[in-house]
Amino acid sequence: MKGQKKYIFDIVRKKMVVLTPEEWVRQHVIHYLVQESEVPLGQIAVESGLKVNRMGKRTDLQVFKNGKPTLLVECKAPEVKMDDKVLAQALRYNLKVSASMLMLTNGIHSALYLVKETRTEYLEKLPTYSHW
């Protein structure tokens, strides 16, 4: 803790980051991806920049396989409702990223989608990385 701010160690960025509610969710997702889905740490990118309608935006997490983004994760603070607005945001970002899977989470509720050409399909569970 520095001053009034709390910090947490980010295992991807290998540094201490301010522990906001959204960061709490992001760090839990990172650990879930590594421990449960067996994603290699080096295949996760945190807060990657992109342009959407000429505006600078950042994806929360991207997971790569064979050099291509395969999973795009949109993290929200626990009090943020997982609704169509969150899905629309992730889909807008994914127009630039072109990941085949989306994960939306606020740490309490999560939704997984397989992205097909013009539609999304709900996924019950994220497969292990070796099955992507």
Instruction: Give per-residue pLDDT as tens, 36-70.
Output: 999 999 999 999 888 877 888 899 999 999 999 99
pLDDT for res 51? 81
Predicted structure pTM score: 0.93
3-state helix/strand/coil string of the chain: CECCECEEEECCCCEEEECCHHHHHHHHHHHHHHHCCCCCHHHEEEEEEEEECCEEEEEEEEEEECCEEEEEEEECCCCCCCCHHHHHHHHHHHHHHCCCEEEEECCCCEEEEEEECCEEEEECCCCCHHHC
pLDDT for res 2? 65
pLDDT for res 118? 80
pLDDT for res 33? 98
7-124 adopts what CATH topology?
Answer: tt1808, chain A (3.90.1570)
Weakly modelled stretches of the chain, pLDDT under 70: 1-2
pLDDT for res 1? 63
